[in-house]
Structure 1
Amino acid sequence: MQQQSFLSTSFELREMKAVKRKVGKYELGRTIGSGTFAKVKFAQNMETNESVAIKIMAKSTILRHKMVDQIKREISVMKIVRHPCIVRLHEVLASQTKIYIVLELVSGGELFDRFGTQVHQRRLSESESRKYFQQLIDAVSHCHGKGVYHRDLKPENLLLDSGANLKVLDFGLSALPKQGVELLHTTCGTPNYVAPEVISGRGYDGAAADLWSCGVILYVLLAGHLPFDETDFPSLCNKINTAQFSCPCWFSPAATSLIHKILDPNPVTRIKIEGIKRDPWFQKNYVPITPRADEVVNLDDVTAVFDGIQDKFVNEESQNSDDGPLIMNAFEMITLSQGLNLSALFERRQDYVKRQTRFVSRQPAKVIISAIEAAAVSLGFKAHTRNYKTRLEGLSANRVSQFAVVLEVFEVAPSLFMVDVRKVAGDTLEYHKFYKHLCEKIDRIIWRPKVSMPSSTLFQTMTC
C-alpha cells in the first residue's frame, strides 16, 4: 500500500507541477543518451501515447562541422533499411535551430549490457551468442541487399528490445551505393572491429568489411574479450592484418571454424553472407527474420529539413513551472522499470553495471548534487553542474583519451529523487569501475528500499 501511494502521489504531482517541452506532437522527457554532436531524449507522442526516442542536433553544429551530407546520409539510410532487427526511423522534423530525428524507442539496453563485470560473466553462452549473431546477420544481409554498408558494427551499436531481440543502430558512418563505384575508400570505424583492408587504406568492398566486424562481434560474444587488442596502434594493425588470434578452449569446433572463415584477412577468400547462412553452426535453431513487404520510401522530408528550413519549422514549446529537478512521468517510469517491476529502478547491483544506470536518494536534490561534485573532485574529475545535471570530465586510464559521465537528478515523488548516470565518452569497462567507486563515495545518500513492489501491483496502479 505504501508503494502504491508513492506512485499515485507521483502521478498527481506530475499533473500539478508540469515541466514540459514540446516539439510538434511530442512531449520531451529525460535525456537517455548523448554524444559530441547530438543528444537523445525520451519522448511521448501526445496523439497516440506511443513512447519514442528523439535524436536532437543543433543546426549550427551541423553547419560548423560540415556534417550536412553525413546527417542526410544517416537519415536516408535509416529510411531505406526498414527491418525488424534495425532501429526504425519514424520521421524527421526541423525547427529554426534544431533537427529532430524521431526513432523507435528500444528499451532493453545495449547488447554490451548482457556482459557482467566479473571474469566468468564476461561472455554469453554459445546458444545465446548464436541467436544474436543470427539476428545481426539477418540485419546486415538486408542492408547489403539495399546497397547499404554500415562500417561501424560493434556491440555498443547493437541494442536489445524488451523481448531481448537485436536492434542495429548508428548509421552515421554508413555508405550508400554510388553509380559506377565498386570499392569504398574512406577509412572509418572502431579500430578493434575494422577489417585489415580498411586499415591499409586500399579500396575495399563494404560487404566484406562489414562481415569482418560481424566476426569480431561473434568472437567477443563467445569469449568475453576482443580477438585483437593491443595498447599501441601499430601492434594492433599488425595483428589485424595477419589475423593473429586464437580461440579459447571453450569454443566449440564448429564455432571456431566459422570464426576463422569470417576473420580471413583476405577479403576475396573471406566467407560471404550466403556461406555464413549455410554454415551448420549458424543453421542450428535458425529462424530467419524477414522484413515486411517493401514500403514506399519517400525522402522528401529529408530534403525539406535541410533545404526548406526557412519556412518549414516545427513548433517548439517550453513550459517550466519552477527551477527544481525535472519530474519523471508515468511513461518514463514504465520504460525504466524493465517488465513493470520497480526493483530495476532501485536495485544497485555491484556485479553488473551498465553504461547507463541509476540510483535513488531521499536526500534533497541540492544535497545530492553537492555529494556528487565532492566525490568527483576526490576521484580526480572536473564537475560542471547546470539545472540539476552534472557532467564529470577527466582522462581515461590510458591518460590519452577523454572519459566523461553525465548525472541527472529527477523527482519521482515528493522527497524521492532518482539519479540517472550515463557514460558519454570513454571505455565501457572503465565506466564499470568508475560507477563502483562513485557509489562508494556517495553511499550515505543512496536509498535502498527493503521491499520491491510486485509487477501486478504496479500495473494496477498505473491503469487505475
Structure 2
Amino acid sequence: MNKSRKVGKYEVGRTVGEGTFAKVKFARNCETGESVAMKILAKSTILKHRMVDQIKREISIMKIVRHPNIVRLHEVLAGRAKIFIILEFVTGGELFDKIVHQGKLPENESRKYFQQLVDAVAHCHSKGVYHRDLKPENLLLDAYGNLKVSDFGLSALPLQGDSLLRTTCGTPNYVAPEVLGDQGYDGAAADIWSCGVILYVLMAGYLPFDETNLYNLYSKITAAEFSCPYWFSPKANKLIHKILDPNPKTRIRIDVIRNDPWFKKNYAPVKYREDEEVSLDDVRAVFEDIEDQYIAERSEIKDGGPLLMNAFEMITLSQGLNLSALFDRRQDYVNRQTRFVSRKPAQIIISNVEAVAESMSLKVHTRNYKTRLEGISANRTGQFAVVLEVYEVGPSLFMVDVRKAAGDTLEYHKFYKNFCAKLKDIIWNPKEGKDSSNLLRTRAC
C-alpha cells in the first residue's frame, strides 16, 4: 500500500521509532525543506490511560528548555484523532550505539560529551526541570557529533511548596540511591548522579553498578560500591567519586563540577539566546480543546505493494547522496535503526520473516507489510518487541527497516545479528550482485 501523506505543512515519511504510547515518523517541512521528527499520539490512547496531564507536561517542558544540547520541540498540532509533536530531527543516532560499537571512549572525547551533558542539565535545572531518566540511550548525537538530550517523558516539575520529588523512576543502573527510597529526593542531585554514571560508562565502556539481581544492584548503588579502572586519570577518578557520592547532601553540585580542573580542560560553553521567548499557546490550544482541532491529512492509496520510499527520504536516510550507507552497515553504526536490502518480492520477505520469528518462539503480528515480533526479554523482566517494515526503494528492490519497540538495546543488537543470520537467503549484497548475508553488519558483536 503506497502512501503520500501530509499533516499541515509537513510531508510525512517512514517510521523511525515506536513505543507503547507513541510512534515517531520522519517528516519534512514543505515550506522550508527542513527535516523534522514527528511524534504521533492517539487521543484515544491518551484519554484511555489518563495521560493528558503527563503528555501536556512533557510537551511544555520541552518547549521551556531550549538549549543547543537539548532536542528542540518546534510546535504541537492536533488532528481529529491524533496529536502531532514536531521535534528536531537528530541524525547521528544514540550515544549508546557509539559506546556499543567502540567500547570505551578516549578521555578527551568523553569529557567533551560530559561537558555538553552538564551544560544541558544545568540549563534544565535553571528552569526548575529535572530529567530523571538520563542514560546514554536518551542522549542523541547530531550530524556534527554534538550531544542532544532527549526523552523528557519522566521529567518532573516539583509541586508548589514542595521541593522534593517522590516518584521512583528511571533506569535502575543509572538511578541515584536516594531515588530508591521513599523519603523524597532532590531532583537536581539525582540527575547529577546519573551524569556521573554516564561519564563512567563513556570512559570505561561498562557500568559502575551492574548486577543481574536487582537486590544486589540496589545494595551496590546504595553503598556506592564501585571502583574506577586503571586507565582513568587521577583527576577524572577524583571527580567521579565526588559525583557518585551516595549522600545527596554532600554530593558535588553542578556549579562546582563546572569549576573542576578536569572538567574545565578544553571547555567551550556553547553560545545561545538565553532570553528567547517561548510560547505555550499551541500546547494550550491542543489540550484545552482536544477534540475540536483539525489538521488536514491527505492520503493517496494504491493497492498491491509496500510503502514506496521517495527520493528525499532515501537521500536523508543514506546520509546525503552516498547511497552505500543503505547497503553497508559499517557506515551506519550509530543510527538508531538497523536495516537490510532484498531483491525478493515483498510477500516472500514477510513470509520468511514470519517463519524465522516463529522458529525463535516469538509472537508475530503482520499488517500491510509491517510486522511486529514480541517475546520475553532474556532476563525475563519484561517484554521484548521488534518492528519490521518493508519499503520499496526501486524496481524489485526492497529495504527492510528493523527497529526496537520494547526491551534492552544491547539485547536488540544480539537479536538482530542472530535474526539476520537466519534470513541470509533473502538478503541482497549489491557488491556481489546476488543474495548474501555478507551485507549485514550489526552494531554489537
Fold match (TM-score > 0.5):
yes
Distance in 1 between the 2:193 and 2:321 partners? 38
CA contact (8 A) 2:92 2:334 kept: no
Q: Unmatched 5+ residue regions in structure 2?
A: 434-445
- SS of 2:300 mapped into structure 1: strand
The yes-or-no answer on 1:113 pairing with 2:106 is no
Identity across aligned pairs (percent)? 73
Aligned to 2:203: 222
CA positional deviation for 1:299: 1.2
Which runs of structure 1 show a deviation greater than 6 angstroms over 4 or more consecutive aligned residues?
none
Aligned to 1:174: 155
> Judging changes above 3 Å, is the alpha-carbon distance between structure 1 residues 50 and 351 closer, same or farther for their aligned structure 2 residues?
closer
Task: Choose which of 133, 139, 145 in structure 1 pairs with 2:114.
Answer: 133
Q: Deviations over 1:79-110 (max 9, x none)?
A: 10000111101110111111110001001111
- SS of 1:444 mapped into structure 2: coil
Aligned to 1:312: 293
Aligned to 2:142: 161
Q: Deviations over 1:11-53 (max 9, x none)?
A: xxxxxx9621211111111100010000000111122221111
Distance in 2 between the 1:173 and 1:200 partners? 18
CA contact (8 A) 2:325 2:332 kept: no
Instruction: Give TM-score, length-normalised by structure 1.
Output: 0.90
CA contact (8 A) 1:376 1:383 kept: yes
CA positional deviation for 1:349: 4.6
> Judging changes above 3 Å, is the alpha-carbon distance between structure 1 residues 122 and 401 closer, same or farther for their aligned structure 2 residues?
same
> Judging changes above 3 Å, is the alpha-carbon distance between structure 1 residues 249 and 192 closer, same or farther for their aligned structure 2 residues?
same
Aligned to 2:77: 93
- SS of 2:428 mapped into structure 1: coil
Aligned to 2:394: 413
Distance in 2 between the 1:399 and 1:178 partners? 36
Structure 2 counterparts to residues 291-370 of structure 1, below 5 A: 291-349=272-330, 355-370=336-351
Structure 2 counterparts to residues 32-431 of structure 1, below 5 A: 32-116=16-100, 121-349=102-330, 355-431=336-412
Q: Which amino acid aligns with 1:89?
A: L
Distance in 1 between the 2:320 and 2:334 partners? 18
Distance in 1 between the 2:239 and 2:355 partners? 51
CA contact (8 A) 1:83 1:290 kept: no
> Judging changes above 3 Å, is the alpha-carbon distance between structure 1 residues 72 and 106 closer, same or farther for their aligned structure 2 residues?
same
- SS of 1:179 mapped into structure 2: coil
- SS of 2:6 mapped into structure 1: strand
Aligned to 1:11: none
Instruction: Give TM-score, length-normalised by structure 2.
Output: 0.94
Aligned to 2:438: none
CA positional deviation for 1:320: 1.2
Distance in 1 between the 2:270 and 2:332 partners? 33
CA positional deviation for 1:159: 0.6
CA positional deviation for 1:255: 1.1
Q: Deviations over 1:240-280 (max 9, x none)?
A: 11100111112111111111010000111101111111111
> Judging changes above 3 Å, is the alpha-carbon distance between structure 1 residues 407 and 343 closer, same or farther for their aligned structure 2 residues?
same
CA positional deviation for 1:339: 4.7
> Judging changes above 3 Å, is the alpha-carbon distance between structure 1 residues 350 and 24 closer, same or farther for their aligned structure 2 residues?
closer
> Judging changes above 3 Å, is the alpha-carbon distance between structure 1 residues 31 and 66 closer, same or farther for their aligned structure 2 residues?
same
- SS of 1:147 mapped into structure 2: coil
Distance in 1 between the 2:175 and 2:236 partners? 21
Distance in 1 between the 2:115 and 2:378 partners? 35
Aligned to 1:461: none
Q: Unmatched 5+ residue regions in structure 1?
A: 1-16, 453-464
Aligned to 1:458: none
- SS of 1:390 mapped into structure 2: strand
C-alpha root-mean-square deviation of aligned residues, in Å? Answer: 1.9
Q: Deviations over 1:59-88 (max 9, x none)?
A: 111111111111010000011000011110
The yes-or-no answer on 1:27 pairing with 2:8 is no
Distance in 2 between the 1:96 and 1:144 partners? 36
Distance in 2 between the 1:159 and 1:350 partners? 17
- SS of 2:291 mapped into structure 1: coil
Q: Which amino acid aligns with 2:54?
A: Q
Q: Deviations over 1:277-317 (max 9, x none)?
A: 11111111111113324221211211111111333211222
Aligned to 1:434: 415
Q: Quick check: 51-60 or 316-325, which moved more?
A: 316-325
Q: Which amino acid aligns with 1:445?
A: I
CA contact (8 A) 1:138 1:290 kept: no
